[in-house]
Amino acid sequence: MILDYDSFTKASTLLHSAQGAALLILGAAEVYALDTPNRKLAFAGPLALITAAAVMPLLILALPGGWDLEQLRFSLEMRGGFHLFFALSCLLGAAGLSRLTQVLLERNGGGWQGTFLAFLFSIGVIYFFFASRVNEEASREVMVWHAAAGSTLLLAVLFKSAHVFFGRRFLHLGWAALLIFTSMQLLTYRESPAAFGMRLVTFETAPAPQQPAAAPVKTQPSKNAGTTDKKRPGN
């Protein structure tokens, strides 16, 4: 099978954009709902998360997979780091469904709220694992970007958790602002071609040890070598 390494780069960039768009809609809806409660608008955030969760596997199937399951399997074997995107897709979908259930039940807190925040927290944690799933030459850049996105998302969850308990306005604003800030980082992220590109491995072998020169073999002189035939006296 032919493996297009550029497809991994394109897919990763689009996958980050899908997550960023979902978080941007969620954050914007949270800001708007603070002063203008609107039941219809409350559905925007969870539906954006669910949509992103559905789009992400399709992007992987379309680009690295080429709409072929066998090609997809081969691509994932070669670049196992893309399994993290499947995990993120599942968590985004679960977070969206939890939030949607909360909106339908018209509850501001409770178990569904906690479940929703727990899934977002898990997404933030997964971002810290991306650097270990790419090629070594791009790991530093990937670590900086994803650590920043993961940190802001975890901080957003912390603000929302505090808002659930204390109900302060500034905590809700902080939650929404951090969601938008995280989304901006994901939307502006551009995957480095070195992250999932072809790796060139060079093997260096030690020079073969030199064999010591063979010592000359000393031959023992024959016992008869030093003797001469004695002349017999004539008759």
Tens-digit pLDDT profile for the chain (235 aa)? 677 888 999 999 999 999 999 999 999 999 988 877 777 888 999 999 999 999 999 999 999 999 999 999 999 999 888 999 999 999 999 999 999 999 998 877 788 999 999 999 999 999 999 999 888 888 999 999 999 999 999 999 999 999 989 889 999 999 999 999 999 999 999 998 888 876 544 445 556 566 665 555 555 555 555 554 444 454 4
User: What range defines the domain where residue 36 resides?
Assistant: 5-196
* DSSP, res 46: H
* DSSP, res 30: H
CA nearest to 164, candidates 204, 227, 107: 107
Query: DSSP string of 207-228?
Result: PPPPPPPPPPPPPPPPTTTT--
pTM: 0.81
**Is residue 131 included in any domain, yes or no?**
yes
Q: What is the pLDDT of residue 200?
A: 47
Q: What is the pLDDT of residue 99?
A: 95
**Is residue 205 included in any domain, yes or no?**
no
**Is residue 22 included in any domain, yes or no?**
yes
**Is residue 201 included in any domain, yes or no?**
no
**Is residue 58 included in any domain, yes or no?**
yes
* Alpha-carbon gap, residue 39 to 222, rounded angstroms: 117
Q: Give the alpha-carbon dihedral of 169, 175, 177, 178, to 10 degrees.
A: 150
Q: What is the pLDDT of residue 167?
A: 85
**Is residue 98 included in any domain, yes or no?**
yes
**Is residue 104 included in any domain, yes or no?**
yes
Alpha helix stretches (DSSP H) within 128-192: 139-166, 169-187
Residue 3 Rama label (left phi>0; alpha psi -120 to 50; beta): beta
Q: How many structural domains compose the chain? A: 1
Q: What is the pLDDT of residue 216?
A: 57
**Is residue 105 included in any domain, yes or no?**
yes
